[in-house]
A = this chain, B = another copy of it.
Amino acid sequence: MSLEIIPVVINKEIKKGDDLAKVFTSSYKGLLDGDIIVISQKVISKQEGRLVELAGVIPSLLAVGIATEYEKDPRLMEVILYETKRIIRMENRIIIAETRHGFICANAGVDESNLPQGFVAMLPENPDASASNFHSSLQEMTGKKIAILVSDTFGRPFREGQTNCAIGVAGMKPINDYAGTKDTFGRTLRTTAIAEADELCGAAELVMKKTENCPFVIIRNFDFSPSSDTAKPLIRAEKTDLFR
């Protein structure tokens, strides 16, 4: 069966404390059992008040030092350091950091796009909790069995360009592990485990970025495995990561 990737356009700017489930249901009526809703990290951050006005930030000496070396705004650098558990690489004006959540991404996920001038956004405090809250509210309001993915745009080693990845998950298994299943020749597939949550967020991005004011995307007809998993299984443990 064909998948449908449906953009949901909203007509308001999300503010701190907004009820995202209400915003969603007032913009889209036809939710079905089995739908996955992908929501952009940015609207969650806005709704949770994770915006920082740079004018109010006093950079530490460390932030000033790094900012000078890497040609960044020292106040932005201060926010990045605040969100950083560990710096993985710093080079060519690029800072790759492990965030407090365990994600490895540029600038520890702090970013300036689609925000009022002078503000930056941090990742949600706990994107799995954000996904879970939205999941509960939306299931309660609509009575539908759904899954939720919180999506952000990450770069990656080896390949140019960014792709969207899941940073919060509710209601589904994020990885489909084919270990033990048979291929079309009856042989056991040994090492295939597909990060479906990331592929779903990438698919959603294809309509999000091309549409104005589209923080929600519905993915229909994808047969996911219901689960109480979070996004944690998507984070590779340091000891099995050959590139840290």
Write the residues of chain A forming the contact surface with B, with a CB cutoff of 8 angstroms.
Answer: 1-7, 89, 91-92, 94, 96, 103-104, 106, 112-117, 153, 156-165, 174-176, 178, 183-185, 187, 189-196, 198-200, 202-203, 205-207, 209-210, 212-213, 222-223, 233-236, 240-244
Assembled-state Cα–Cα distance A198/B91 (Å): 25
5 additional contacts, CB 8 Å, given A5-B203, A153-B192, A163-B198? A5-B5, A117-B185, A159-B165, A176-B209, A184-B212
Assembled-state Cα–Cα distance A243/B207 (Å): 30
Cβ A160 vs Cβ B235 within 8 A: yes
Cβ A240 vs Cβ B163 within 8 A: no
What's the minimum C-beta distance from A133 to chain B, rounded to whole angstroms? 24
What's the number of copies of this chain in the assembled complex?
A: 2
The 8 Å CB contact of A117, one of B162, B175, B187, is B187
Residues of B within 8 A of A244 (CB): 157-158
Residues of B within 8 A of A187 (CB): 112-113, 117
Chain B residue at minimal CB-CB distance from A13 = B184
Residues of B within 8 A of A203 (CB): 3, 5, 199, 202-203, 206
Chain B residue at minimal CB-CB distance from A104 = B158
Assembled-state Cα–Cα distance A207/B233 (Å): 22
Cβ B161 vs Cβ A234 within 8 A: yes
Residues of B within 8 A of A242 (CB): 89, 91-92, 94, 96, 157
Assembled-state Cα–Cα distance A81/B19 (Å): 56
Count chain B CB atoms within 10 A of each CB in A156, A187, A206 and give the residue with the most: A206
Q: When A94-B242, A175-B160 are in contact, do A3 and B114 touch as well, CB less than 8 Å?
A: no
Cβ A236 vs Cβ B199 within 8 A: no
Assembled-state Cα–Cα distance A185/B42 (Å): 14
A-B residue pairs, 10 tightest by C-beta: A161-B195, A157-B243, A199-B202, A203-B203, A3-B5, A89-B242, A104-B158, A161-B175, A202-B202, A2-B6
